[in-house]
Amino acid sequence: MAWRAARSLLVLQQQLKAGAPRAAPPATGADEWGLIGDAAHDPTSDHTPHDFPGWGNDIVTAADFPNRPDLGLDAHKVLDDIRRSHDARVKYGISNGQMFSSYAVKGFDPWTWRPYNPKNGDKHFTHGHLSVVGDSRADGTQPWATIGASATAGGEDDDDMGASIGPIQIQPDTTSLSIPPVEAGAADPRQAWINVCNDTYGTRYALRVWFSKGDKTFQPLGGKEGLFALDSGERLSVQLPAGTACLSISRKAVDSTGSIVDPNDEFKPYLGHLTCCIERGPVLR
């Protein structure tokens, strides 16, 4: 089975090895930097590859790293740095018999440590564990706000354009993308744009894009009823309205003039590989 790790986890491991070079292999074993789980892992584990509609298939969303304070790598401190940064890529972290998550758990607020008592008894004293969310945010390659990052990573003056999301595969049927709400205030005040470029070597295609602010309604994104026809090599960039939290993208058929038509025997939606990305602007305060 072909699998891959969420890109943010690869960034984390590379960053920790750079920030604590004495703890990098061969001083620590490759198995201490685990991504995919073995056969003994629970199949529901984030170390097991899963399919995520609208993002990708066979993706691992968890990473381990050694807890070696004697070599400059304190796993609990790393995870506490990440906890305090409230990074939108985080699902939960585990270390030293404690756990935090980006969501509330009965009796505990988001981003707070709580006791961790797993059935298998492994309280993660020898290593740290980070799980990331199961959507395209987890492919964000901006540095994590801990050792090995630049001085501004995760800070209030962070203008990191690497926080953009993508590339995201557009499925042959409807693609649903949940994204951090655009211009949502202190948590993420950035503007955002959806970007698509037609790379089909002479083929024209069209997309219909609608958006929701999480208010139980969908509206067309610009254009005529949210419809956009692109020639080969043409780039589409549309700013997302403030509050946008979900995008619904579907493929449409176009005739020889580029007009959008109902699919029939002659004109069908383009079914080849298509991608888009969400471009997020700098933090402006």
pLDDT in tens, 51-90: 998 888 999 999 999 999 999 999 999 999 999 999 999 9
* Max Cα-Cα span within the chain: 68
What does pLDDT average to over the chain?
86
Higher pLDDT, 187 or 243: 243
Q: In the chain, where are the structural domains located?
A: 4-139, 164-280
Q: Name the DSSP class of 127.
A: E
| pLDDT (average), residues 212-218 | 92
Which of 46, 40, 43 is closest to 8 using CA atoms? 46
Cα–Cα–Cα angle for 242, 247, 252, rounded to 5 degrees: 130
Q: What number is the average pLDDT over the span 241-257?
A: 87
The CATH class for the domain spanning 164-280 reads mainly beta
Best mean pLDDT range from 30-44, 106-120, 254-268: 106-120
Q: What is the mean pLDDT of residues 213-240?
A: 88
- Residue 206 · residue 248 · CB < 8 Å: no
Residue in the structure block whose two tokens are 């585990």 = 94
151: pLDDT strictly greater than 70:
no
Q: Alpha-carbon torsion 127, 133, 135, 140, what sign? A: negative
Which is higher by pLDDT, 155 or 283?
283
- Identify whether the C-beta of residue 112 lies closer than 8 Å to the C-beta of residue 123: no
pTM (2 decimals)? Answer: 0.56
Tokens of 138: 């987890």
Which segments of the chain are extended strands (E)? 4-5, 50-52, 56-60, 62-66, 90-95, 98-101, 114-115, 127-132, 165-169, 175-178, 192-197, 205-212, 219-220, 227-230, 235-239, 246-254, 260-261, 275-280
Q: Identify whether the C-beta of residue 220 lies closer than 8 Å to the C-beta of residue 246.
A: no
